[in-house]
Structure 1
């Protein structure tokens, strides 16, 4: 009997390359931890946790309702959005528009926050809450990072696990 040759399909190899490139971009950014008063080492990696019909692809950072949420990086605020799953959300691009940072379940936005503004690392963007599909008794920031495609669409991209970048955040 001939030995089977196990070769990954070309699309699978390309996917791994994209994930590695995105992880390298994320690792190169000196992120600020997004939630005031929470120590990075206390955050659990929830990226691969299951959700109904999908993988979580984000970190849930538990904190008291109303805790300030800050921009993790410099960059442009590209979208403020109120959605059924995410509630009050902020989409921010990094300075090179290669990464999108997604902040969700906010209780409210910071005063004066608007689309198109330039954010600086550490700027106040909102407050921890339970809007959207978050459990009302579990306030948290749902934080995600996406590698953007050439179209630079704020609503889609390759999900990147921000756990290591946030654990290293200052």
Structure 2
């Protein structure tokens, strides 16, 4: 049997889970109320707006969003029906497809961004001092790197010799 967490670590874990869920719910509720976008919609639009050509291969976009391929397909299809993104064949090889930011998607992002930023400030950032912001950045950067590495090793472990 796995050893239990000590009282302080258990309290930290439970506090993190409850507060992060409340924060995510509040940010998403605010985003939907002011723009009609979900948090996933907004994140897709942000990622596409930041890359050259405002387009990403579906696999790369799924990786950045930490979405399964089927979840990304559903997300992009929903956004495509609303005119926020388009799905086009990859110009480099024609085999894969890319999600491409549309003019309507860029406009939706530009209109949503100030309200979302205000929500992020109100519900998180304005309550933190510089040392706390630096600590959160260090902690979650380190965890993110470790978890990305774990994802890579999980994929390696899942591929048995001879399966290639």
Do the structures match in fold with TM over 0.5? no
**Which protein is richer in helix relative to its size?**
2
Structure of larger gyration radius? 2
| TM-score of the two chains, using structure 1 as the length reference | 0.29
Higher-RCO chain (CA-CA 8 Å, sequence separation at least 6): 1
| TM-score of the two chains, using structure 2 as the length reference | 0.29
**Which protein is richer in strand relative to its size?**
1
